Amino acid sequence: MQAVANVEARVKEIVRKDGIGRRRDYIGSPGTVDNSPQAFLVERPYAGARINPHFHDVDQFQVVVKGDGRIGKKEVRPITFQYADAYTPYGPIVARDDGISFFTLRNIASGGHFVMPGSKHLMACRAGRNIAGVFEVGKRRMKNGEVAQEPLMEPQADGVDAVGIRMGANAQAQAPTSAGGGQYILVCAGTLLQDGKEMTADSLMRVEAGEPAPLLQAGPDGAEVLVMQFARPSERPGSDPSKLKRDGYVDRHVVPAGE
């Protein structure tokens, strides 16, 4: 298991035509193609920030933690999560006045950013699932030591799942078993005390498939966490990291003329 406190993330400033943003790398790094997990926080803290429709060659979760806007037609705000199967286009991501910040979480590094509609011929299969939901932070006041779990997604045959856990002050909770293709645990509010670290909001844990489920320990102000489970590997393209073969990162942010 990896536990990365928000203060440990590597920060990179990114200057774009529409404004100045940041990327906070927690695990791995975008644009680096390897067989390791990849987790980073995209911060676009300015009005009208936009990311055009696109897809990736791997399954992923995204979680909006600040600001608001929309992903495609879906209105998003903290804490909205979105799961997308590999080769499933989504977007555009469009921020409103306060900008938008969101985590991107993957089992394995993406092999590219494929803008749509110009990259449709690079899709290895038909578009799959695009599931969104909201974890309402602060919805319920928890008593000292109290724990409550909240299912956030309809059951999926291959194990994809999202669960919210609310913990009162000093409470302990066993995280769900990582029985699929790996798992992320995001601190949305409050504090977890994990591996000798103080894990405040926007801190992240990665649990590999088959690893023991961690025991979560809330701090004196309690904690609210979002647990996201990836699918068991299958014949669906992009679901089995061991079968992915990439020769390098494909960046199709700019569509060639005529496509």
Residues 17-27 pLDDT 10s: 889 999 999 99
Q: Which residue has the higher pLDDT, 30 or 7?
A: 7
pLDDT of residue 244: 82
Select 9-133's CATH number: 2.70.210.12, 3.40.50.2000, 1.10.10.10, 2.60.120.10: 2.60.120.10
pLDDT of residue 2: 95
The model's pLDDT over 81-93, given as tens digits with 9 standing for 90+, comes to 999 999 999 999 9
Superfamily of domain 138-229: Jelly Rolls (2.60.120.10)
Residues counted in the chain: 259
> What pTM did the predictor assign?
0.93
Residue ranges, comma separated, of all CATH 2.60.120.10 domains in the chain are: 9-133, 138-229
Place of tokens 């309690």: 222
Helix %, strand %, coil % of the chain (to 5): 5, 50, 50
**What average pLDDT does the segment 160-187 reach?**
96
User: Residue 115, Cβ neighbours under 10 Å: how many?
Assistant: 20
**In the predicted model, what is the mean pLDDT of residues 73-84?**
97
C-alpha of 28 from chain center = 13
Round to the nearest angstrom and report the end-to-end CA distance of the chain. 43
Pairwise CA distance, residues 134 & 213, whole Å: 24
pLDDT band at 131 (very low <50, low <70, confident <90, very high): very high
